[in-house]
Amino acid sequence: MPSPKITLGVLIAGLALLLVGVGLIGTLVGVRASLEHFSALTIGLIMSGYYLGYVLGTFLCPALIRRVGHIRTFAALAAMTCAVTLAFSLWVHPLAWGLLRMVGGIGVVGLYMVVESWLNEQVEPGWRGRLFGLYTAVTLGALAGGQFLLLVGDPLTSAPFVIAAIFIALGLVPIAVTRVHEPVPVQTPEAHLRELYAISPMAFQGVLITGLVTSAFWGMGAVFAQRIGLDALGISSFLAATIAGGAALQWPVGHLSDRYDRRAVLVAVSFACALVAVAAVWLLEQGLVVMMLTAFVYGGLLFPLYGLSVAHANDQLAPSQMLEASRGLLLVYGFGAIVGPAAAGLVMAWLGPMGLPLYSAAFLILLGGFGLFRMTRRVAPPLAEQGDFVAMVRTTPVALEMHPQVEAEEPRS
């Protein structure tokens, strides 16, 4: 049996390859749909199908894992995800693509669950928090890198879809040949929405609106970039710059929230992100360099909002309650994500491509305003009682078991 560190490295490397393909297919579908002259609303509905499948998979995949085991589930979902990726180029129709995106969402969330279960099983006590940080960085880096594969082939041909499927398949090889112990069964998450809202209305609204806005970027960002006239390199650079900003600025923003009232930081970041989104309507005409800088700052302000919201909820809880609350908040994010691309597509159909940043700004202003209201209704906890901010990506509830604040309270059996 290889050492745990080698096994962890192989698992993360395999997941990175897989996510390069996942990152490409998400962008490619939006670009190809736009080239096929699908309306913005139609594209938004197609992209929302992915998040619908993702949320459905969060409930369906744990039962499948318990029934047939992690290894068989992994093999089945891997085959399904590759088949779905290839099928996009064979059946170009909005209804078909919406269905394929939904099935793909189920497959991706199931693969995440299995790999995250194996990571949790292999990591040594005391290292799960460090692994969580590495996992976040690798996930965002792989998704950003996948954007540049858009340059490899003509989106109107099947070649880019084949390339995405190849990376997904290559990512499965190191994972499939690694010897790992069968992890404990994956729990089906429970959504106690009233209890979550009662714990922290601000955190609840924060993750919901973050889902509405972030999914709009993931689903419609490529369409926005293509319709303002960017070529393949410009589209890839725009998306990668946004993701890179989110990866680079999460920690500085989070550190700021550890030193001041976290709600105040969340409000300030929401308004600042809205300002950048509105300014983008004018700044995008100033050239590619200005556009990339704007995208970097926008991503750097948008991506930490989820982690800030979860950290604010955790400030109200005992460590033993954090895992269950974080799982519930992840589902709330998912519910927002289902609506986000379709709602953004509707606004873009009405206002054109600039409807995307204006849509995002409207919801971010709503979040900031709600935060100001909540600051008049509840006193913030003392700074000494605030937990540390943790940079996070939204994958599955299984990944939350690596959360540093949960580590001491949730030992693996």
What is the model's pLDDT at position 316?
Answer: 78
How much of the chain is helix, strand and coil, in % rounded to 5?
Answer: 80, 0, 20
Q: Give the highest mean pLDDT range of 149-153, 257-261, 357-361.
A: 357-361
129-139 pLDDT per residue, tens: 677 778 788 88
> pLDDT (tens digit, 9 = 90+) per residue, 159-210?
999 999 999 999 888 877 776 666 666 667 666 778 888 888 998 999 999 9
Q: Give the residue-averaged pLDDT of 395-405.
A: 62
pLDDT top residue among 375 and 85: 85
What pLDDT is attached to residue 200?
Answer: 85
Task: Tell me whether residue 187 is in a domain.
Answer: no
Predicted confidence at residue 1, as pLDDT, reads: 47
Here the tokens at position 48 are: 């929302």
Q: Is the pLDDT of residue 355 over 90?
A: yes
pLDDT at 385: 65
Note the pLDDT of residue 245: 93
Domain-embedded: residue 380: yes
Arithmetic mean of pLDDT over the chain: 85
Show the DSSP H helices in 36-127 as ranges.
Answer: 40-68, 70-87, 94-122
pLDDT band for 339, please (50, 70, 90 cuts): very high
Distance CA 19, CA 99 (A): 21
pLDDT at 307: 86
Q: What is the mean pLDDT of residues 375-390?
A: 73
Check whether 84 has a pLDDT greater than 90. Answer: yes
- 188 found inside a domain: no
Average pLDDT over residues 391-401: 65
Return the minimum-mean-pLDDT range out of 96-100, 268-272, 284-288, 347-351: 284-288
Q: Is residue 351 part of a domain?
A: yes
Helix then strand count (H, E) for the chain reads 15, 0
Q: What is the CATH number of the domain that holds 268?
A: 1.20.1250.20
Q: Would you say 346 and 358 are in contact if contact means Cβ atoms under 8 Å apart?
A: no
Contacts for 86-92: CB closer than 8 Å, 24+ residues apart: 86/158, 86/161, 86/162, 86/165, 88/25, 88/28, 88/29, 88/32, 88/161, 89/157, 89/158, 89/161, 89/162, 90/158, 92/32, 92/36
* Predicted pLDDT of residue 411: 46
pLDDT tens string 197-248: 888 899 899 999 999 999 999 999 999 999 998 999 999 999 999 999 998 8
86 in a structural domain: yes
Q: What is the pLDDT of residues 36-69, one digit of tens each?
A: 999 999 999 999 999 999 999 988 888 888 888 8
Query: H helices within 228-314, ranges in order?
Result: 232-259, 262-283, 288-302, 304-314
Number of structural domains (the chain) is: 1
410 has pLDDT over 60: no
pLDDT of residue 406: 57
Average pLDDT on 281-304 reads: 88
- Decide if 265 is inside a domain: yes
Q: Are 301 and 289 in contact (CB under 8 A)?
A: no
- Contact (CB, 8 A) for 126 and 15: no
What is the spatial distance between Cα 193 and Cα 105, in angstroms, rounded to a whole number?
23
Could you report the per-residue pLDDT of 142-159, keeping only the tens digit for each? 999 999 999 988 899 999
pLDDT average, residue stretch 8-27: 87
Q: Is residue 413 part of a domain?
A: no
DSSP-based three-state secondary structure for 267: helix
Encoded tokens for 367: 């979040």
Query: Domain containing 298: what range?
Result: 4-181+193-407
412 domain-assigned: no
pLDDT at residue 409 above 60?
A: no
Which band of pLDDT confidence, cut at 50, 70 and 90, is reported for residue 413?
Answer: very low
Task: Please name the amino acid found at residue 313.
Answer: A
